[in-house]
Structure 1
Amino acid sequence: MCRESGAVDDESIEVWLRLNLEAKSQPLDQGVIATVKALYKKRICERVLLSMQQQQPLKVNLGGAIDMVVASWWQVKADTISKCFKRAGFVRNAEALEDDEQSDTSLADETLNTDDV
């Protein structure tokens, strides 16, 4: 903020937004990121087991790792993202909050317990 004119500059707005929005978005980030990580780890374990069964060394390159991350991202369900938004406080009504409170398991645990892969 410019002290002389009282105007707010872009840098001040950016710092304020970063500091204030970070806390709001953390539950969203943690839920989605935890789910993607869980799915990615599941894919890695499957590849390790497959290479062991075929008695071949496991070869992973950067492109293959990126492909697995992308595939893991696309496997995240819309319901998971919706729950993360609710946990972060982005809801339209109180009914949505009640639905979220009934969930006892974490999003990553739900993801690992599915057999969709």
Structure 2
Amino acid sequence: MSDQSRPIRLGVNDVLHLVLEIFLFVSLGIWGFLTWPFPWNIVVGIVAPLLAILIWALFLSPRAVIAIDSFGRALVEIALVMAAALAWFTLGQPIVAVVFAVLAIGSGVIAGRKALT
């Protein structure tokens, strides 16, 4: 059976991982719009999530442009998660930062272990 004819099986962690990735991008946008003074808030509010999306597309997407090993993928994902968590800390929301970081790292570990098997 070829890869294209197999049904796609999504688990709870796959959905959680997707939601956390979207939350990461939105978090960086919110941080950019709220932290920086006008007109830089518009620039950073748009560029920060776009840069994170570009990094995700290059290294982490299922069809990543630059193929790296699992360790490299983990480092890139941790860097993106920490950027979003730090954004929430700078916005004065440490609980959101910690909850997001714990959920994202836990989901990433589960997804990484699944990819290795």
TM-score of the two chains, using structure 2 as the length reference: 0.41
Give the number of the structure with larger relative contact order, counting CA–CA contacts within 8 Å between residues 6 or more apart. 1
Larger radius of gyration: 1
TM-score of the two chains, using structure 1 as the length reference: 0.41
